[in-house]
Structure 1
Amino acid sequence: MKYRALGTQGLTVSSQGLGCMGMSAFYGATDEAESLATLDRALELGVTLLDTAESYGPFRNEQLLGKALVGRRDRVVLATKTGIEITDDGEPRGHNGRPEYIRHSLERSLRHLRTDHVDLYYLHRVDPQVPIEETVGAMGELVAEGKVGALGLSEVAPATIRRAHAVHALSAVQTEYSLFERSIEADGVADTLDELGIGLVAYAPLGRGFLSGAITSPEDFAPDDFRRTDPRFQGANFERNLDVVREVGRLAAAKGVTASQLALAWVMRQGAVPIPGTKRRRYLEENLAATDIDITAEELAAIEAVAPQGVAVGDRYAPELMTTLNG
């Protein structure tokens, strides 16, 4: 495993992390035994960045990681998120960036994770009713108390990044980024992160599994898989996006790697730390092999030709969720 600095605040992570959400929520049936085995294998292979959130479940994913990390908490950079309000009995209530909720949320996460600190604490989504300065100020107090190591934001606009960073230095911004989703290159987010020395953590770096080439029909999804509501996986959009996947697969085959590996290697070449989500060891091992893949300038140009910025057809979330992005 290779390691790299995430931002300029002193955080070092594996060059590829592990998104743990699907082990507990949103992507069909779960298997705790296989998820725990996958986490074991990730640590064996040198993965240090593990990504979760209290809203994944809710709480079940944090509890899973708490169980998995007993006796080896110091081996990982543990990242979780706040800002989507969840009642103590697990009911979602919308966004909440108020300082009192931020503190309550962290204390609850620490109990679920069976730890006394979180290495990287994200604001999951911006609360439009609370100035970002107030929210990040409260998060900064948790850093001062030793309960949080570093701060991050998720799905935020450049102006918000700047305002937050002025209150407390950020180590990371997490956003969707892949060959399918490159809007941060156009909207100023990527340039802002480079300027301020903030790391980029890419979730859904395989286009929610699309770029793996394993999805050939919307019927491949379980009835409760949220991708059934994702516009990119519906109707004519699906077929047009599948054409892009086939082209990426062709380039991958010519290089002697899988489509997933090529897509992940591309994300890493852009300077981001991808956190592909998987709940199975065989996919974990395939994904991590991408850390050893070099992409030449010629190959990069070929990828750009088949997957330029804006290539995906359809929004990346259903309409009601699109309003929560770029806060």
Structure 2
Amino acid sequence: MPEILGKQIGSTGYGLMGLTWRPTPQPEEESFKAMKASLAAGCNFWNGGEFYGTPENNSLTLLEHYFTKYPEDADKVVLSIKGGLKDMHPDGSPENVRRSVDTCLKLLNGKKKIDIFECARVDKNTPIETTLKVLDEEYVKTGKIGGIALSEVSAATIEKAVKVTKIVAAEVELSLWATDIFSNGVAQSCARHNIPVVAYSPIGRGMLTGQITKPEDIPEGDFRRTVPRFSPENFGKNLELVNELVKFAKQKNCTPAQLAISWVKSLSKKDGNPEIIPIPGATTVERVVENSKDVALSKEELAEIDSILKSFTVVGGRYGGPAALHIEG
């Protein structure tokens, strides 16, 4: 089992949970049931964000309410929080980093320590060394947060960061249709410095579940409507890959989501890779249970999946519009 900051991740495997942004928040009690189910399934790495929701009602608000009701669960959870944005743009200045961390701590109201804090994106106008120095000296060394992670970074940024402070994780997108970290040096850099990779969107923002079969299946106002690989001109080509993976999952007698998550897990510490920890988002007990079921993949099956991936080229960027400008990798 992987460890971060001396805490085991996933008591029954690599079970993890992403407290992702949702356009329409569900009732708290339903979220609480899913959170309880995640711990029961060994999913004790929870990933949230200051900007997941409104300032008055976001993932930190939900977490504060949960740990107020279930204080006994606080020490069971490894909590990773993203922040460091200003008006949804990266701002790694000392002033904004302090504002962001202090806001997150205030929202949690002492009910749970922030084990890991990470700036969601790299601010191109502020040296990463400046940002990390503030986090290290004013928050880690004073015990206000447990450690520092990176998010959506390049290999070059990782190399700069490790010279400033200990980096406990790097959160990057990784899935069957987003394997960039193995070609852009990020995975190699993480392995070299023994930094675990926290893999977000391991089911391709829902696409790899096989439940999205046409662009119209994505609701109006949904973030994915801005993502090029979901656009009408790219959707059909990408669906061909998804359909092949769905067929494979049926042959394996598992759900496409289970296949996608298990494939990501299978890459961990393989062929010189770093530790890899997937964080699929989940809002219901049923989805938590589904996501936490590990599916063993043989060498032959992994080779077959690799053959499928090599026969298709995913078209369209991972982000579109202004968001694409803030991606380093």
Normalising by the residue count of structure 1, what TM-score does the alignment of the two structures yield? 0.91
1:88-103 aligned at under 5 Å gives the runs: 92=87, 94-103=89-98
Letter in 1 for 2:213: T
Question: How far 1:34 moved relative to its partner?
Answer: 1.7
Letter in 1 for 2:328: N
Farther off after superposition, 308-317 or 35-44: 308-317
Q: Secondary structure at the match of 1:166?
A: coil
Structure 1 segments unaligned to the other structure (5+ residues): 86-91
Question: How far 1:93 moved relative to its partner?
Answer: 5.4
For residues 78 and 95 of structure 1, the distance between their equivalents in structure 2, rounded to whole angstroms, comes to: 21
Establish whether residue 77 from structure 1 lines up as the match of residue 72 from structure 2.
no
1:173·1:201 contact (CA, 8 Å) conserved in 2? yes
For residues 165 and 54 of structure 2, the distance between their equivalents in structure 1, rounded to whole angstroms, comes to: 28
1:188 to 185, 190, 193: 185
Q: Root-mean-square deviation (CA), in Å?
A: 1.7
For residues 235 and 321 of structure 1, the distance between their equivalents in structure 2, rounded to whole angstroms, comes to: 19
1:104 corresponds in structure 2 to 99
For residues 164 and 36 of structure 1, the distance between their equivalents in structure 2, rounded to whole angstroms, comes to: 36
Q: Secondary structure at the match of 2:80?
A: strand
Question: How far 1:11 moved relative to its partner?
Answer: 4.5
2:246 to 246, 249, 254: 249
Question: How far 1:182 moved relative to its partner?
Answer: 0.6
Letter in 2 for 1:228: R
For residues 129 and 11 of structure 1, the distance between their equivalents in structure 2, rounded to whole angstroms, comes to: 34
Counterparts in 2 of 1:4 and 1:309: CA distance versus 1, 3 Å? farther
Question: How far 1:53 moved relative to its partner?
Answer: 0.8
For residues 325 and 193 of structure 1, the distance between their equivalents in structure 2, rounded to whole angstroms, comes to: 17
Identity of paired residues, percent? Answer: 35
For residues 196 and 73 of structure 1, the distance between their equivalents in structure 2, rounded to whole angstroms, comes to: 29
Question: How far 1:148 moved relative to its partner?
Answer: 1.0
Establish whether residue 208 from structure 1 lines up as the match of residue 205 from structure 2.
yes
Letter in 2 for 1:186: S
Structure 2 segments unaligned to the other structure (5+ residues): 269-275
Establish whether residue 299 from structure 1 lines up as the match of residue 301 from structure 2.
yes
1:182·1:310 contact (CA, 8 Å) conserved in 2? no
Q: Secondary structure at the match of 2:249?
A: helix
For residues 29 and 68 of structure 1, the distance between their equivalents in structure 2, rounded to whole angstroms, comes to: 15
1:178 corresponds in structure 2 to 175
For residues 169 and 58 of structure 1, the distance between their equivalents in structure 2, rounded to whole angstroms, comes to: 31
1:1-327 aligned at under 5 Å gives the runs: 3-6=1-4, 10-14=6-10, 15-22=14-21, 25-26=22-23, 28=24, 30-59=26-55, 60-70=58-68, 71=71, 72-85=73-86, 92=87, 94-115=89-110, 117-141=113-137, 142-271=139-268, 272-290=276-294, 293-308=295-310, 311-326=313-328
Letter in 2 for 1:284: V
Question: How far 1:104 moved relative to its partner?
Answer: 2.1
For residues 151 and 17 of structure 1, the distance between their equivalents in structure 2, rounded to whole angstroms, comes to: 19
Counterparts in 2 of 1:127 and 1:309: CA distance versus 1, 3 Å? farther
Deviations 1:230-263 (CA, angstroms, capped at 9, x unpaired): 1111113111111111111111111111111111
For residues 3 and 247 of structure 2, the distance between their equivalents in structure 1, rounded to whole angstroms, comes to: 33
Q: Secondary structure at the match of 1:50?
A: strand
Counterparts in 2 of 1:93 and 1:210: CA distance versus 1, 3 Å? closer
2:16·2:42 contact (CA, 8 Å) conserved in 1? no
1:18·1:276 contact (CA, 8 Å) conserved in 2? yes
Deviations 1:114-173 (CA, angstroms, capped at 9, x unpaired): 336310111111111111001011111211011111110000111111111110010100
Q: Secondary structure at the match of 1:323?
A: helix
Question: How far 1:188 moved relative to its partner?
Answer: 0.3
Question: How far 1:310 moved relative to its partner?
Answer: 7.5
Farther off after superposition, 314-323 or 180-189: 314-323
For residues 289 and 204 of structure 1, the distance between their equivalents in structure 2, rounded to whole angstroms, comes to: 17
Counterparts in 2 of 1:217 and 1:300: CA distance versus 1, 3 Å? same
Q: Secondary structure at the match of 1:151?
A: strand
Aligned length: 312
For residues 212 and 107 of structure 1, the distance between their equivalents in structure 2, rounded to whole angstroms, comes to: 37
For residues 67 and 145 of structure 1, the distance between their equivalents in structure 2, rounded to whole angstroms, comes to: 26
Question: How far 1:103 moved relative to its partner?
Answer: 1.9
Counterparts in 2 of 1:276 and 1:201: CA distance versus 1, 3 Å? same
Question: How far 1:12 moved relative to its partner?
Answer: 2.9
Deviations 1:154-206 (CA, angstroms, capped at 9, x unpaired): 00111111111110010100011000001111000000000110000000000
Q: Secondary structure at the match of 2:53?
A: coil
1:206·1:212 contact (CA, 8 Å) conserved in 2? yes
Question: How far 1:108 moved relative to its partner?
Answer: 1.2
Counterparts in 2 of 1:112 and 1:238: CA distance versus 1, 3 Å? same
